[in-house]
């Protein structure tokens, strides 16, 4: 491809709306174009990379036993109602009405549609296991589309659904997907960690995310450097320090004028925060909830949401606190009536705590679970923080931001039971298929590839994804022989099967080299009067500091060999 003909111009400065390195570079290099919030188009260079990403995904899914299908993006709303997910998705689901006043949804994911396909074509255990996937446009009405290609409203997703006869079968399919996903991200040059996650609107049980740890990520993950434990912060556990046993002492009232926070209280009484009981008030699905947790710990609202089984949770405002009969700053679960109490599992086992008295400016010493108060639910609702002990080995945990690159779920029989995806087992008994669901966002992967592979000058494409193998630069083309030599090399390289982007423009060396660095092809080849004097061309790898000379005569063969040596790999999972 001649750069003079290429559609899409490079830019010196990125538009102000770009907030991250990958977004700035994708715009400056002319790979993507925003049409509206969360809606992008892809120019020739960007589209080349996206197709290569899709091909890597396709190869790995096929190697893992997946079969590619293509399912509709437009879904009758009834299947979303049958699964109960029309409500769960809420406003994230794009819903539209056809001319006959029937409602349709634009698919954000395809569990329901794949189950419909399964019902038509699968009768017997002999048809299983079955792994179906597609690479297709999805729609999600994100409340806050942002970050360039990270959070889109229209995007491409590879979604695979596995159907097995039992949970053991699902474990096998799940393991296959874990290794296929690892191969995809490795081949794309994006380092990922596998973290435990919460399932959100998907239902089901085990699930994990592949996360690329980087500061621009919207997710938070907790990682143990010692044993490899990794979890999304929403799900992460910590090893809680167990208090020494003490004899329960009699409750004493103490005056604590003006002390509202745990820190003030602990300082005033000269005790560690772990000897106090913290009260936090939530409105959960419109009902008041009193949460009691040891004073040194914080509440993880996602865990609490799951424990309560509600869709919506927020802190109560002052008016609601008063209406529930609670005294802010001195609230107590002791003697509390008509309010649901949830205790973190740290609280019941801690003896002789200082807790509120539910009277202004007053606290109680020696409050003990069971004797003085009790909870409707006791569960782990603790938020993991930097430096907390790892739940598996006790070493210090570290917190990181990250981008969720892929998500794998063990759905079990949630959808197959609800939607009637059954098969006949050996004895001829109908049983629900045991399902798994596995997704990768393609454009988000493009963004992560650029985020993980760039420097201050521009993109550094991994050989597996580069839009072109070689960036051929001709300098001072008005000088005799230069254009001819460069044209000949361009033709020879193409004949040798090398993908070449040929900068044949009449621009200064500075502009051409800056564009080569910005566009990021792995190998730059320069033809100039200076190199031709030595009957040579200059080769420079995008990550190399200095160029090397290569004889003009052997240049096509040498370049071809260099490209082949770094070139795209075969699928890593042999079929």
* Contact footprint for Zn ion (CB under 5 A): 224, 226-227, 229, 390, 392-393, 395
Least CB distance from residue 394 to Zn ion, whole Å? 7
Q: How many CB atoms lie within 10 A of CB 75?
A: 21
- Backbone φ and ψ of 532, nearest 5°: -70, -30
The residue written with tokens 């293509």 in the block is: 70
Residue 236 or 486 having the CB closest to Zn ion = 236
Least CB distance from residue 383 to Zn ion, whole Å? 18
Tokens found for residue 476: 């001072």
Residue 388 or 504 having the CB closest to Zn ion = 388
Least CB distance from residue 380 to Zn ion, whole Å? 17
Longest dimension (CA), the chain: 100
Give one DSSP letter per residue of 103-155, joined into a string: EEEE-S--HHHHHHHHHHH--BGGG-SEEEEEEEEEE---SS-BTTTTB-SEE
Residue 397 or 442 having the CB closest to Zn ion = 397
Least CB distance from residue 274 to Zn ion, whole Å? 22
Least CB distance from residue 350 to Zn ion, whole Å? 24
| Rounded CA separation 383/293 (Å) | 11
Residue 226 or 249 having the CB closest to Zn ion = 226
Residue 223 or 482 having the CB closest to Zn ion = 223
Residue 304 or 397 having the CB closest to Zn ion = 397
| Rounded CA separation 563/96 (Å) | 49
Strands 32-36 and 39-42: antiparallel
Least CB distance from residue 236 to Zn ion, whole Å? 11
Residue 146 or 239 having the CB closest to Zn ion = 239
Residue 204 or 389 having the CB closest to Zn ion = 389
Q: Are 199 and 265 in contact (CB under 8 A)?
A: no
| Rounded CA separation 9/465 (Å) | 20
Phi-psi region of 441 (alpha: psi -120 to 50; beta: other; left: phi over 0): beta
Give the distance from CA 38 to its chain's centroid.
Answer: 16
Least CB distance from residue 395 to Zn ion, whole Å? 5
Residue 231 or 307 having the CB closest to Zn ion = 231
Beta carbons within 8 Å of 8's beta carbon, 6+ residues apart:
30, 31, 43, 44, 45
Least CB distance from residue 393 to Zn ion, whole Å? 3
The residue written with tokens 């390289």 in the block is: 493
Least CB distance from residue 221 to Zn ion, whole Å? 14
Segment (H or E) for 280: strand 277-284
Give one DSSP letter per residue of 164-206, joined into a string: ESSHHHHHHHHHHHHHHHHHHHHHTT---EEEE---GGG-SS-
Least CB distance from residue 194 to Zn ion, whole Å? 15
Give the strand order in the sheet containing 523-527. Answer: 500-503, 470-474, 523-527, 536-541, 548-551
| Rounded CA separation 332/358 (Å) | 5
Residue 242 or 575 having the CB closest to Zn ion = 242
């Amino acid at each position: 491809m001649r750069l003079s003909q290429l559609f899409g111009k490079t830019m010196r400065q990125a538009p102000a709306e770009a907030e991250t390195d990958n977004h700035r570079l994708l715009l400056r290099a002319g790979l993507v174009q925003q049409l509206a919030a969360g809606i992008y188009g892809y120019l020739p260079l960007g589209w080349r990379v996206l197709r290569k990403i899709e091909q890597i995904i396709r190869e790995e899914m096929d190697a893992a036993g997946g079969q590619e299908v293509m399912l509709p993006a437009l879904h009758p709303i009834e299947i979303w109602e049958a699964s109960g997910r029309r409500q769960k998705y809420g406003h994230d689901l794009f819903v539209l009405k056809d001319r006959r006043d029937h409602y349709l949804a634009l698919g954000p994911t395809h569990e329901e549609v794949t189950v419909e396909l399964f019902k038509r074509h699968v009768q017997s255990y002999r048809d299983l296991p079955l792994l179906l996937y597609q690479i297709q446009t999805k729609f999600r009405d994100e409340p806050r589309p942002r970050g360039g290609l990270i959070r889109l409203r229209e995007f491409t997703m590879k979604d695979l659904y596995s159907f097995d006869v039992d949970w053991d079968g699902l474990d096998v399919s799940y393991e296959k997907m874990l290794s296929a996903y690892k191969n995809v991200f490795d081949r794309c040059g994006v380092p990922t960690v596998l973290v435990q996650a919460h399932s959100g609107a998907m239902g089901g049980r085990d699930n994990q995310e592949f996360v690329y740890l980087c500061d621009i990520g919207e997710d938070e993950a907790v990682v143990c450097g010692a044993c490899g434990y990794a979890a999304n912060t929403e799900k992460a556990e910590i090893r809680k320090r167990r208090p020494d046993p003490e004899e329960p002492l009699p409750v004493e009232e103490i005056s604590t004028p003006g002390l509202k926070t745990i820190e003030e209280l602990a300082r005033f009484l000269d005790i560690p925060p772990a000897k106090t009981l913290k009260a936090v008030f939530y409105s959960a699905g419109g009902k008041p909830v009193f949460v009691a947790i040891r004073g040194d710990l914080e509440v993880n609202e996602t865990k609490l949401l799951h424990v309560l089984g509600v869709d919506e949770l927020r802190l109560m405002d002052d008016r609601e606190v008063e209406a529930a009969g609670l005294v802010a700053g001195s609230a107590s679960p002791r003697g509390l009536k008509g309010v649901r109490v949830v205790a973190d599992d740290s609280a019941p086992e801690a003896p002789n705590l200082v807790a509120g008295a539910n009277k202004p400016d007053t606290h109680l010493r020696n409050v003990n679970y069971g004797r003085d108060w009790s909870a409707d639910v006791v569960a782990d609702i603790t938020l993991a923080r930097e430096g907390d002990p790892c739940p598996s080995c006790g070493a210090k945990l570290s917190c990181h931001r990250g981008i969720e690159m892929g998500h794998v779920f063990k759905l079990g029989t949630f959808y197959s039971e609800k939607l009637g995806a059954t098969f006949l087992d050996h004895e001829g008994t109908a049983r629900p298929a045991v399902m798994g669901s596995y997704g990768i966002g393609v454009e988000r992967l493009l963004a992560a590839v650029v985020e993980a592979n760039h420097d201050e000058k521009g993109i550094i494409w991994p050989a597996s994804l580069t839009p072109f193998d070689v960036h051929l630069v001709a300098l001072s083309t008005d000088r005799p022989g230069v254009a001819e030599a460069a044209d000949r090399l361009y033709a020879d390289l193409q004949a040798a099967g090398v993908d070449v982007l040929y900068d044949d423009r009449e621009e200064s060396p500075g502009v051409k080299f800056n564009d080569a660095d910005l566009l990021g092809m792995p190998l730059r080849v320069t033809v100039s009067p200076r190199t031709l004097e030595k009957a040579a061309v200059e080769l420079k790898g995008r990550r190399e500091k200095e160029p090397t000379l290569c004889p003009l005569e052997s240049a096509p063969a040498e370049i071809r060999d260099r490209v082949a040596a770094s070139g795209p790999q075969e699928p890593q999972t042999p079929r």
